[in-house]
Amino acid sequence: MKIWKRCAGLVLALACCLGLLSGCGQEAAEGMKLSVCVGSAPRELDPIYATDPADQTILMHLYENLMRTAVDASGGTSASSGVAKSVQQEENTDGTVTCTFKLRGAKWSDGQAVTASDFVYAWQRLADPANDSPYASLLSVVAGYDTVRSTGDVTALKVSAKNDSTLVVELNGKYDWFLTVVCTSPATLPVRQDVIEAWQTQTAEAAAQAEEEPVEVEPWWADASGLVTNGPYQVSGETDDALTLTASETYSGTQSGPAELTFRYADTPEEAQSLYENKEVDFVSRVTDDQLAKLVEEESPSLIQELGVYTILFNCRQEQLADPQVRGALVLSLDRAAIAEAAGETARAAEGFIAPGVPENEDGDFRTVGGPVVETDPEEYQVSCVEAQKLLNAAADGAPTGLEYLYVDEGTAGDVAREVCDAWSRVLGVTVTPKSVTAEELETALRTGEYDLAATAFQPLGNDAECFLRPWMTDSGENVLGYANSAYDTLMSIIASASDSAARMGCLHDAEELLLGDYALTPLYTTVTADQLRENLTGVCRDPRGWFSFTSVAVRTA
């Protein structure tokens, strides 16, 4: 592997997290009604817990964050002011950065003012280990986060309200993607403290009154029509198969999208396609497998690269896998081309851990600029197999035995598991048992470290190379690998004190190669998807992290 030698002073470039905007001209959407299908009925509308892109899409229309999506002059999208009308960043002598947000005069749907304290409460709630949010690590760039996680004292988080209209956030390094990743995420949306605390009081009272069996209490967001929100839309109707939003009368931002937005529910792409064909909806977020396969065969430009990377994680604390030579032998004996074929038409052999489409500079994305850093050429596979056998022969304790490979049996994951384990048996004579588990069981195994190897569709918290790499620092709470390398930690620290964007990117390439060269994990494949919008409409925006915005949808003009 080549090593990039550009790790001197770095400046984080402001890169847009949000993806695709199609369109020509637009005409006013006044009075326009739009029906869409982005998935099934909401499972979770609490911002700190919502993981389904369908739920996140609804949240992003009901609430507004500090930053939001805007259409730029080139027809793409960028992050612009949301509740925050301005932000000033000041570098401190200790390397921290103070961000001061000035809030505009936004209002909640009940008429109360949106204040800086609403964000303080929401972010403290997200960071609180007692709440166990899967997105808590978004705030790991905020000073005091580690103290909050170790003590439970949420006031240690360096987020404060100087006054009602001034929010101050202290970062532990230079992260310009803080604005485009953290400040645009559904997980950091503001919520009303009084609403949630009133629900908590009702829950406690109901529990106290229950003498024998616990009372099942609905979550605070269950009555969607009663939600207090601050976004461009409010809930105006709810049925078993749809949720209807209308433009909010209290929203003070610019609202040029549909006056009415209805989310129709479907549990499968086939059900969604039926709604589309019957003209009950004008947009579906995922086409059927047959349609997708056809688009892949045609190499259609409408295909969308997904941000996640299907990856094998190695438990570096496991005695038999502590030796990088053993891990390296297992990695080099894998045929990524064959694995991608087993994964189906939408899979493409991974060329690195950073997925295609992650921005770098005007010359291209991170993957294009850096090139492949893992072998994907079938013609080179036999060479890799010979190297794998040499590594295993050189391992101090010889070949591992009794290993298990955990995976969640969804889609083609079972076929991939068999292809992977067969390769280890065929090339190395190492027997690894594939074991199907639930998503909850896999999460528990990773958190507790009670696993050998695990396959997962890793998705970073943001569309930036650093978001792929930060979790594997030695002291990171997300480091389920037990990976520890002081050189890697040093690289990531240099990146966090960046003052030159080109050098920063060079160090990110170095860090990716170092991580992969230690064989702590290995990427297998990435995937593509596609959505469908009526030809007479334009302006749907898809965030690379998976959710959609319909606030700029309009009828096409010639």
Q: Find the mean pLDDT for residues 150-178.
A: 96
93-105 confidence digits (pLDDT tens): 998 999 999 999 9
- Show the CA angle centred on residue 426, arms to residues 424 and 427, nearest 5°: 70
Q: Find the mean pLDDT for residues 403-427.
A: 97
Instruction: Give dist(CA 342, CA 417) in Å, integer.
Output: 9
State percent of the chain over pLDDT 70: 92
Which pLDDT score, from 0 to 100, does residue 17 have?
A: 34
Which pLDDT score, from 0 to 100, does residue 404 have?
A: 98
| pLDDT exceeds cutoff 80 at 444 | yes
| pLDDT exceeds cutoff 90 at 9 | no
Instruction: Give dist(CA 86, CA 88) in Å, integer.
Output: 7
| pLDDT exceeds cutoff 50 at 141 | yes
Q: How confident is the model at residue 258 (pLDDT cuts 50, 70, 90)?
A: very high
Query: Which residue type sits at 184?
Result: T
Which pLDDT score, from 0 to 100, does residue 23 have?
A: 33
Going by C-beta distance under 8 Å and a sequence separation of 6 or more, which residues neighbour residue 224?
42, 45, 235, 238, 243
| pLDDT exceeds cutoff 80 at 446 | yes
| pLDDT exceeds cutoff 90 at 491 | yes
- Token pair, residue 181, equals 């990743």
Q: How confident is the model at residue 558 (pLDDT cuts 50, 70, 90)?
A: low
Which pLDDT score, from 0 to 100, does residue 69 have?
A: 67
Q: Is the Cβ–Cβ distance between 248 and 276 less than 8 Å?
A: no
Give the Cβ contact number of residue 400 at 10 Å: 24
Mean of pLDDT over the chain: 91
Which pLDDT score, from 0 to 100, does residue 6 have?
A: 29
List the one residue out of 193, 192, 215 whose CA is nearest residue 204. 215
Q: How confident is the model at residue 178 (pLDDT cuts 50, 70, 90)?
A: very high
Beta-strand relationship, 283-284 and 33-39: parallel
Q: Find the mean pLDDT for residues 192-198.
A: 95
SS3 annotation, 178-222: HHHCHHHCHHHCCCCHHHHHHHHHHHHHHHHHCCCCCCCCCCCCC
287-339 confidence digits (pLDDT tens): 999 999 999 999 999 999 999 999 999 999 999 999 999 999 999 999 999 99
Which pLDDT score, from 0 to 100, does residue 46 have?
A: 98
Q: How confident is the model at residue 78 (pLDDT cuts 50, 70, 90)?
A: low
Which pLDDT score, from 0 to 100, does residue 212 have?
A: 63
| pLDDT exceeds cutoff 90 at 211 | no
217, with CB counted inside 10 A (0-12, 13-18, 19+), is middle
Instruction: Give dist(CA 284, CA 37) in Å, integer.
Output: 5
Pick the more confident residue, 189 or 201: 189
Token look-up 């803080």 returns 178
Q: How confident is the model at residue 203 (pLDDT cuts 50, 70, 90)?
A: confident
Token look-up 């739920």 returns 55
Q: Which domains does the chain have, with CATH numbers?
A: 305-529 (3.10.105.10)
CA distance to 37, 186, 303, 490, per residue, from 547 (Å): 12, 9, 16, 34
